[in-house]
Amino acid sequence: MIIDCISDLHGELPKLEGGDVLIVAGDLTISHKPIEFDNFFEWLRNQDYKYKIVIGGNHDSYLQKNIMYGQISMDFGKQLDGSYDFYYLCEASVTIEGVKFFGTPWTSTFDGINPLCKAFTVDGEIQLRQKWKIIPEDTDVLITHCPPYGIGDLVKGYFHPSENVGSIDLLDKVLSSNIRLHVFGHIHNGYGVTRIKRDSDDHETIYVNASIMNDDYEPVNKPIKIIL
């Protein structure tokens, strides 16, 4: 299975090659206006993938307000025949060709966060821990907007020390599971792929920060292709 991973589009609609599965790991828009979502879903409809999976991010308050958990409740992404051609996962799973995908959009608030960019956010690690508890044990591919601690989560300090801002409990959840691929975004300069193999059983997890934007909100990063 060939999986293309992107995140943090912020209104940019990249040209993609097409393939088996497309994952979009949140922050679809820059200002969460309805017209931006119309543009995104029109673009998504025209992408040549067998399967498409979308989760929300902290910039996507319109999604949080207008789409029910785990299912579409508005006319987003409908094809001419009235069906949907993508999966929207919000604390929900879908199994595709024997591979189980689980998506959840939650991140933590932080000092100075834009009040317009607080969709799917909670206050701190204790509340995040409750969100990660519902990740099914048999998940193969985990999609979050939040990064795990220490992997693709380094915020570079300009007026303060750099720091890792990912979730410790999310990392613990992945490390204690048999998750094969973890796709996320949120921290733009954390873009890239990390492969970690456990010493105990030789199990490898691929971690992908798929943000297409850099810290200056320039779409300089390419989609990341993973063969699973």
Cα–Cα distance, 150 to 180 (Å, whole number): 18
The residue with greater pLDDT, 23 or 112, is 23
- Please state the rounded mean pLDDT for residues 39-43: 89
In the chain, beta strands by DSSP E: 2-6, 19-25, 49-55, 87-88, 92-96, 99-104, 107-108, 121-122, 141-144, 154-155, 163-164, 181-184, 192-197, 204-209, 224-227
Is the predicted pLDDT of residue 82 greater than 60, yes or no?
no
Among 48, 51, 54, smallest CA distance to 71 is for 54
The answer to whether the beta carbons of residues 4 and 222 sit under 8 Å apart is no
Cα–Cα distance, 170 to 153 (Å, whole number): 12
Among 155, 164, 146, 151, smallest CA distance to 214 is for 155
pLDDT at 117: 85
Burial grade of 172 (CB within 10 A; 0-12, 13-18, 19 or more): middle
Is the predicted pLDDT of residue 9 greater than 70, yes or no?
yes
Query: Which of the listed CATH numbers 3.60.21.10, 3.40.640.10, 2.60.120.680, 3.40.50.1000 matches domain 2-227?
Result: 3.60.21.10
Burial grade of 64 (CB within 10 A; 0-12, 13-18, 19 or more): middle
pLDDT at 19: 94
- Please state the rounded mean pLDDT for residues 159-176: 88
Q: Among the residues of 31-144, which ranges form H helices?
A: 34-45, 61-66, 125-132
Q: Which helix (H) or strand (E) holds 105?
A: none
Is the predicted pLDDT of residue 80 greater than 50, yes or no?
no
Is the predicted pLDDT of residue 33 greater than 90, yes or no?
no
- Residue 124: pLDDT band (50, 70, 90) is confident
Taking only the tens place, the pLDDT of each residue in 140-153 is: 999 999 999 999 99
- Please state the rounded mean pLDDT for residues 215-226: 96
Cα–Cα distance, 76 to 190 (Å, whole number): 30
Is the predicted pLDDT of residue 111 greater than 80, yes or no?
no
pLDDT at 160: 62
- Please state the rounded mean pLDDT for residues 50-54: 94
Is the predicted pLDDT of residue 226 greater than 80, yes or no?
yes
Please state at what angle helix 125-132 crosses helix 168-175, rounded to 10 degrees.
30
Domain boundaries, the chain: 2-227
